[in-house]
């Protein structure tokens, strides 16, 4: 039984620092991404890169953050840089990765926060259903493009790079559990079918794909070079529910008023997974601050088969776009 009231969360330990280090936060112009950036600056980050779709909005956020740092005398020397990253488009992901590799010598932390939830079926320019494109495909491509760069940086610094992917408990309620893919069918192809789209289900579907991919990738990585985990901060009071029809939005506003965490608390949870949790969190899903067991579906024979199938299908898609690192082959 799920508790309606979420447990209280303690702040990040005061001695947690990010002095002299570099972080990239996707979806950093609002909500959790912006708050995580703010908290990293308070930890004396050397540089934070706001990876955003809307550069003008990102620059406005960056200026606000600079003013906050000056006013509060926190990290006044931190570099705040805005870079374009549109997760709707493969070419934008690849341009961003190329620019990052060329302009930033080392990235210590990559927060994969950008994500969407849609009420109606939409398609990206790639032809894929848009929720799956933004939440899954583009994140996988970004990891593939940056993995050798992150590993090289770890060799330079002597510490593993960290990837913390913002996930969701919603992956435990995926349509794959309720309506398994037919024998011989493909998971990603099915996700693109109009008839497979369900408003309430698609966000959870996308987050299941992310979790399955992480569980496949992590054993292929050397945690002395790259530690990857996935973190669910629970319900947080952000604008994601604004896509809902007005009658459902009003209900969600009431629910969030009683149950949702603030973005500050959500930021604590994400940065716990990114900075406080140790190597034991590699390849794990964290609910709040605790490492969680794999979901019932993922642990089942059907889920394990889906994980293998998804890996193969994803590698086939990524191979069309870029030269894959050895961990993907």
* Residue 116 domain flag: yes
Give the CATH number of the domain where residue 122 resides. 3.40.50.720
Q: Is residue 7 part of a domain?
A: no
Residue 302, judged by CB atoms within 10 A of its CB (0-12, 13-18, 19+), counts as: middle
**How many angstroms separate the CA atoms of 268 and 290, rounded?**
13
Give me the pLDDT at residue 221, please: 98
Quote the pLDDT of residue 251.
66
Mean of all residue pLDDT scores within the chain: 91
Query: What is the per-residue pLDDT for 228?
Result: 98
Question: Among 126-130, 237-241, 314-318, whose mean pLDDT is lowest?
Answer: 237-241
Read off the pLDDT band of 177 (50, 70, 90).
confident
Q: Which one, of 74, 19, 73, lies nearest residue 46 by Cα?
A: 19
* Beta-bridge mates of residue 292: 285
Which among 27, 5, 38 is positioned nearest to 235, based on CA atoms? 5
Mean pLDDT, residues 147-159: 97
Q: Give the integer Cα–Cα distance in Å for 245 and 237.
A: 17
Number of structural domains, the chain?
1
Of 21, 90, 149, 207, the active-site residue reads: 207
| pLDDT at residue 1 greater than cutoff 70 | no
136 is catalytic: no
Degrees, nearest 5: CA angle 113-119-120? 115
Calculate mean pLDDT across residues 59-77. Answer: 80
Contact 166, 32 (CB under 8 A): yes
For residue 126, tell me if it sits in a domain: yes
Q: Is 203 a catalytic residue?
A: yes
User: What is the percent of the chain with per-residue pLDDT over 70, rounded to a whole number?
Assistant: 90
Could you list the residue range(s) of the whole structural domain that residue 300 is in? 22-320
185 pLDDT tier (thresholds 50, 70, 90) = confident
Residue at 299 is within a domain: yes
Characterize the bridge pairing of strands 79-84 and 109-112.
unpaired
Q: What is the pLDDT of residue 115?
A: 93
pLDDT in tens, 79-105: 999 999 999 999 999 999 999 999 999
Q: Where are the alpha helices (DSSP H) in the chain?
A: 31-42, 55-72, 90-103, 130-132, 138-157, 175-178, 187-191, 199-217, 246-259, 263-271, 296-299, 301-319
Rounded Cα–Cα distance for residues 319 and 323 (Å) = 6
pLDDT digits 0-9 by tens, 193-220: 999 998 878 999 999 999 999 999 999 9
User: How many percent of the chain have pLDDT more than 90?
Assistant: 76
User: What pLDDT does residue 3 have?
Assistant: 55
Catalytic annotation, pick one of 203, 215, 289, 297: 203
Biggest CA–CA distance in the chain, Å, is: 61
Long-range contacts of 54-62 (CB under 8 A, 24+ apart): 54/29, 55/82, 55/84, 57/29, 57/30, 58/28, 58/29, 58/82, 61/28, 61/29, 61/30, 61/34, 61/37
Please report whether residue 220 resides in a domain.
yes
Q: Which of 307, 322, 274 is nearest to 95 (CA)?
A: 322
The answer to whether residue 280 sits within a structural domain is yes
Residue 325 lies in a domain: no
DSSP label of 79: E
7 has a pLDDT exceeding 90: no
Residue 75 within any structural domain of the chain? yes
What would the mean pLDDT of 37-53 be, rounded to a whole number? 95
244-298 pLDDT, tens digit each: 677 666 766 676 667 678 889 999 999 999 999 999 999 999 999 999 999 999 9
Query: How far is Cα 306 from Cα 296, in angstroms, rounded to an integer?
Result: 13
Average pLDDT over residues 176-198: 87
| Per-residue CA distances from 245 to 39, 131, 173, 199 (Å) | 33, 17, 22, 11
- Residues 120-141 have pLDDT tens digits of 999 999 999 999 999 999 999 9
């Amino acid at each position: 039984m799920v508790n309606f009231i979420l447990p209280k969360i303690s702040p990040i330990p005061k001695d947690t620092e990010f002095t002299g280090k570099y972080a990239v936060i996707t979806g950093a112009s609002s909500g959790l991404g912006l708050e995580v950036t703010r908290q990293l600056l308070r930890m004396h980050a050397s540089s934070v890169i706001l990876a955003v779709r809307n550069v003008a909005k990102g620059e406005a956020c960056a200026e606000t953050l600079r003013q906050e740092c000056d006013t509060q005398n926190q990290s006044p020397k931190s570099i705040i840089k805005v870079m374009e990253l549109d997760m709707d488009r493969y070419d934008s992901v690849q341009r961003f990765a190329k620019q990052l590799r060329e302009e930033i010598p080392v990235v210590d932390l990559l927060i994969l926060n950008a994500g969407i939830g849609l009420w109606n079926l939409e398609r990206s320019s790639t032809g894929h259903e848009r929720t799956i494109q933004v939440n899954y495909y583009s994140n996988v491509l970004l990891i593939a493009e940056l993995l050798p760069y992150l590993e090289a940086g770890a060799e330079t610094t002597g510490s593993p790079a960290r990837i913390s992917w913002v996930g969701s408990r919603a992956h435990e309620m995926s349509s794959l559990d309720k309506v398994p893919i037919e024998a011989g069918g493909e998971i990603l192809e099915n996700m693109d079918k109009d008839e497979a789209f369900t408003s309430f289900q698609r966000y959870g579907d996308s987050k299941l794909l992310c979790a399955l991919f992480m569980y496949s990738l992590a054993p292929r990585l050397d945690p002395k070079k790259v530690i990857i985990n996935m973190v669910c901060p629970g319900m947080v009071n952000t604008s994601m529910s604004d896509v809902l029809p007005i009658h459902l939005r009003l209900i969600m506003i009431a629910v969030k008023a009683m149950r949702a965490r603030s973005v500050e608390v959500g930021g604590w949870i994400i940065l716990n997974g990114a900075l406080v949790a140790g190597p034991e969190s590699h390849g794990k899903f964290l609910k709040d601050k605790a490492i969680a067991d794999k979901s019932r579906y993922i642990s089942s024979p059907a889920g394990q088969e889906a994980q293998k199938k998804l890996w193969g299908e994803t590698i086939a898609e990524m191979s069309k776009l870029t030269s894959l690192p050895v961990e993907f082959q």
